[in-house]
Structure formats: C-alpha cells, structure tokens
C-alpha cells in the first residue's frame, strides 16, 4: 500500500509540474506576452527557476516533520499544498487583465508547488525502509515510476491539447484544462490518505548503521550524484523539446508524442533495472548510466526520434537505484531531511541553470550542449569511483 501510494503521489505532483513545462510556449504568452520569442522563452524558464527555490525549503521543513513525527502525515501536507497551488495557477488572470501582477502571482504559486514537491522525498524514504534489503531498490524505483507517469500524463495532455485546439484557444483558455484535470486525479490519493494511519509516529527500519557520519564531504558527493538525474532530465525533457518547437519550427504534437513514448519506456523499465541493482549493486548500475550518457552526448541522434528511446533506457537505469541508494546513506533520524534538501537543492539549481546554460550555448553552437552534458556525467563518474568502497 505504502509504495503504491508513493507512486500515486509522485504521479499527481509531477503531472502538475509537467503541464507547466510542456506548455511553455503557450503559458509564456499568457504571462509574458510583451516580449519576443527568445526573451519570452528565457523569462519563462527563469520564472520556473524562481519557483523551484521553494523545493529546498519544503525539503527541510516537511523533511524535519517526517523524521521527527510521521512520514505519511508530512506527505499528506505536501500533497495538499501541491493541489491547492496548481488550482490557484489555473484560475490566474492573464497579463492582459492585471498586468505585472499576473507573472508575479504565477511565480508565487510555482514557489508553493516547489515547497510541496520538496517535502515529499520522505515518501521514497518510507518505501525503502518498509521492505527487505534485497528489495530496496526495486521498491524505491516505484516512486520514480510515479514521477515518470506524471511527466507522461503531462506530455500526453500537452499532445492532446496541441492537436485538438488552436494556439489562440490554448492561450486564451485551454492551458487551464490540464491543471483542472489534476484535481480529479488527486481524489483517489486523498481517499488513500484517509485510510492510512497518520496518528502515531512510524517505527522505521534502517539498513544503515547509526555509526555513519554525516559530513560535508559526503553531502557534496551526494549533491554531485543527483546531477546524474537532474541535468540530463531537464536538459533533454525541458530544454530540448521546447528548443525544437520554438527555434527549429518542429511540430509540437509530434515532439510531445515522442516525449510521451519515452516516458512510457522509462516507467516500464525502471523497476526492471531496480531489480538488477538489488542483485548487482547500485554503484554498478549508476556507472552504466553515466557511461551511456557520456557516449550518447557525442554520438546520440539528438534531432532524431530514436534519441528519445536511447535516453529513456539510460534514465531508467538511473532511476532504478539512485533514490533508494541516496535514501539509505544517512541515519534514519535525519535521512528524509538531509536527502530531501540535497535532492531539492540539486533540482532547484538544475531546473533553473541547466536549460538556461543550454539555451545560451545553443546560440553559438549546439555541440556545446553535448560538451556540457559530457562534463557533468564525467564528474558523476569520478564521484561514483570514490563511493565504491565507502558505501557498497
């Protein structure tokens, strides 16, 4: 029950987040209509980045509550906040109605969305703590599957909206439909929460001894380790699709269709690679992902639909073990707080910086984007080498 509830929470929260990303071209016209395409694109990415500043705050506040009192109650608070913020965004007036208050309010509620998402790393922690050691990565991977399902639903919704409605209708009204649908999807999750005992503090099991030291060196390593997920994901699922649509003139329906298919591939294969990580070790799995991303950074067919499938398999390898691995590094009394803050600090920096860096590099030479990805995964590889004896 717990691990599937985590899947559902991740799906709903990241669906609401994915809608705002998948409809970048549309929503940016709603809140930044007075700028040209390039400036509007950069400003919208910046507004999302500012909103993501709430994630580390949520990771600390709700993570502290999760560690001290109850992991599921903290998850309930975060989920409720996410649904509220998404509905608030869906009812915001456009720039043409209230001027600069419109983008200001949009940024504020995106900030609240970030707080909500940031507080729910405890769901991943709770799912890992509730199972046997031999199943920890396969179980934790289900939370990642939920996130992929959320992004899949977001991209499917964007595909449907772009296919059936005109751009003018989407700008005037249609973009709100996707966010309204999330309120319907959230009803079963609230029912599941109502059936969950959240009155007493959970007794969790730890697979990490209490003698593990929390030190800044280890924190720094985990920060770099999270880049294996954050930078490729936001580079290739936030920057690249919108770059193809807005600057290369490619068909948006086709782009988001391939985007959706790649999410299906990730969701299907992530538990499989989780089982492999349980059998052979998380470090080996994460190294395979790093090597694969390094090679495809230089030789991958970036402009071809094939790239979507190559990237999906590599990210499934990553999600099969990364979050379970990190959740167990720190002692149980602080792990939701520390892992949650690190996850969200990395995510906040990545969502803000990665697309902006990529957009800047692409203006000069698109090959520079490949070099950027290769540099990041090389850093992750070096860190994985230092973690081999320390944690495996």
Who has greater pLDDT, 327 or 389? 327
Confirm if 357 and 372 have CB atoms less than 8 A apart.
yes
> Count of CB atoms within 10 A of residue 164's CB?
11
Token pair recorded at residue 41? 């694109």
Q: Say which range, 167-171, 194-198, 233-237, has the weakest mean pLDDT.
A: 194-198
Q: Please give the share of the chain, as a percent, with pLDDT higher than 70.
A: 90
Give the E-state strand segments of the chain in sequence order: none
pLDDT band at 199 (very low <50, low <70, confident <90, very high): low
State mean pLDDT over 284-307.
85
- Give the pLDDT score at 204: 45
Give the mean pLDDT of the chain: 81
The pLDDT value given to residue 190: 86
Residue 197 pLDDT grade (very low, low, confident, very high; cuts 50, 70, 90): low
What count of Cα atoms within 13 Å lies in the side-chain half-sphere of residue 3? Answer: 18
**Integer Cα distance of 114 and 101 in angstroms:** 20
Angle value at C-alpha 129, between 5 and 285, nearest 5 degrees = 90
Contacts of 340 (CB under 8 A, 6+ apart): 58, 59, 60, 62, 63, 66, 118, 119, 120, 121, 122, 125
The model's confidence at residue 290, banded by pLDDT at 50, 70 and 90, is very high
pLDDT in tens, 136-171: 888 888 888 888 888 778 777 877 887 788 778 888
Vertex 334 angle, CA 342 and 213, to 5°: 85
Tell me which range, 72-76, 107-111, 137-141, is most confidently predicted by mean pLDDT: 107-111
Q: What local confidence, expressed as pLDDT, does residue 263 receive? A: 79
For domain 2-391, the CATH superfamily is MFS general substrate transporter like domains (1.20.1250.20)
Answer whether residue 111 shows pLDDT above 80: yes
Q: Answer yes or no: is pLDDT of 57 > 80.
A: yes
Distant-in-sequence, close-in-space partners of 200: CB < 8 Å, separation ≥ 6: 70
Among the residue ranges 87-96, 153-162, 229-238, 283-292, the one predicted with the least confidence is 153-162
CB 10 within 8 A of CB 263: no
Tell which residue, 238, 229, 374, 232, has the closest CA to residue 298: 374
User: Which phi and psi (to 5°) does residue 251 adopt?
Assistant: -65, 125
| 350-to-145, 248, 299, 342, 356 alpha-carbon distances in Å | 20, 24, 23, 12, 9
Per-residue pLDDT band at 352 (split at 50, 70, 90): low
Listed range (23-37, 104-118, 260-274) with the worst mean pLDDT: 23-37
Mean pLDDT of 314-339: 84
Contact 205, 129 (CB under 8 A): yes
**Nearest alpha carbon to residue 345 among 10, 144, 55:** 55
Query: For residue 250, what pLDDT is reported?
Result: 77
Per-residue pLDDT at 65: 83
For 219-241, give one letter per residue: b (16+ CB within 10 A) or e.
eebbebbbbbbbbbbbbbbbbbb
Q: How confident is the model at residue 207 (pLDDT cuts 50, 70, 90)?
A: very low
Q: pLDDT tens-digit profile of 117-141?
A: 877 776 777 777 766 777 888 888 8
**Radius of gyration over alpha carbons of the chain, in Å?**
20
Q: State phi, psi for 338 to the nearest 5 degrees.
A: -70, -50
pLDDT of residue 372: 93
pTM: 0.75
Q: What is the pLDDT of residue 28?
A: 84
Q: Which residues of 270-285 are buried (b: 16+ CB within 10 A; e: fewer)?
A: bbebbbbbbeebbbeb
What are the tokens at 333? 């009394």
Please say whether the beta carbons of 313 and 293 come within 8 A.
Answer: no
Query: Average pLDDT, stretch 278-307?
Result: 86
CB atoms within 10 A of CB 374: 16
More confident of the two residues 157 and 196: 157
Domain boundaries, the chain: 2-391
**Cα(50)–Cα(105) distance, integer angstroms:** 12
Residues in the chain: 392
In this prediction, residue 269 carries a pLDDT of 94
d(CA 79, CA 66) in angstroms, rounded, equals: 13
Cα 207 versus chain centre, distance = 26
DSSP per residue, 322-345:
HHHHHHTTS-TTTHHHHHHHHHHH
Phi-psi region of 281 (alpha: psi -120 to 50; beta: other; left: phi over 0): left
Report residue 198's pLDDT band, with 50, 70 and 90 as the boundaries. low
Q: What average pLDDT does the segment 13-25 reach?
A: 78
d(CA 83, CA 176): 14
Average pLDDT of span 203-214: 44
pLDDT of residue 365: 86
Q: How many CB atoms lie within 10 A of CB 11?
A: 26
- Indicate whether 389 pLDDT > 60: no
Predicted local distance difference test score (pLDDT) of residue 205: 42
Q: Which two tokens stand for residue 244?
A: 């193809």
Most confident of 9-23, 98-112, 208-222: 98-112
Q: Is the pLDDT reported for residue 213 higher than 70? A: no
């Amino acid at each position: 029950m717990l691990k599937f509830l985590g899947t559902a929470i991740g799906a709903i929260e990241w669906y609401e987040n994915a809608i705002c990303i998948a409809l970048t071209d549309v929503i940016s016209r709603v809140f930044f209509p007075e700028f040209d395409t390039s400036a509007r694109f950069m400003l919208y990415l910046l507004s999302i980045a500012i909103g993501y500043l709430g994630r580390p705050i949520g990771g600390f506040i709700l993570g502290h509550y999760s560690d001290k009192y109850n992991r599921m109650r903290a998850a309930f608070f975060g989920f409720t906040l996410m649904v509220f913020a998404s509905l608030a965004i869906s009812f915001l007036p456009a720039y043409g109605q209230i001027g600069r208050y419109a983008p200001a309010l949009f940024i504020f509620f995106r900030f609240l969305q970030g707080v909500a998402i940031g507080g729910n790393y405890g769901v991943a922690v709770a799912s890992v703590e509730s199972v046997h050691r031999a199943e920890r990565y396969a179980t934790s991977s289900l939370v990642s599957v939920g996130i992929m399902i959320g992004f899949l639903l977001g991209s499917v919704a964007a595909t449907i909206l772009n296919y059936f409605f005109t751009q003018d209708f989407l700008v005037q009204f249609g973009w709100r439909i996707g966010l309204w649908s999330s309120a319907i999807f959230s009803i079963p999750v609230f029912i599941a929460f109502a059936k969950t005992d959240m009155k007493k503090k959970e007794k969790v099991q730890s697979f990490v001894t209490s003698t593990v030291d929390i030190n800044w060196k280890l924190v720094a390593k985990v920060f770099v380790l999270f880049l294996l997920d954050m930078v490729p994901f936001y580079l290739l699922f936030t920057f690249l699709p919108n770059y193809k649509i807005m600057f290369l003139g490619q068909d948006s329906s086709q782009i988001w269709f391939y985007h959706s298919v790649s999410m299906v591939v990730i969701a299907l294969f992530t538990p499989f690679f989780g089982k492999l990580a349980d059998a052979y070790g998380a470090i080996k799995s994460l190294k395979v992902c790093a090597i694969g991303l390094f090679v495809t950074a230089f030789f991958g067919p970036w402009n071809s639909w094939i790239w979507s499938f190559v990237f999906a398999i590599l990210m499934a390898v990553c999600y099969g073990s990364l979050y379970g691995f990190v959740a167990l590094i720190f002692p149980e009394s602080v792990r939701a707080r520390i892992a949650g803050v690190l996850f969200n600090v990395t995510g906040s920096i990545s969502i803000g910086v990665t697309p902006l860096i990529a957009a800047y590099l692409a203006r000069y030479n698109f090959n520079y984007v490949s070099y950027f990805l290769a540099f990041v995964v090389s850093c992750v590889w070096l860190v994985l080498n230092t973690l081999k004896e320390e944690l495996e």
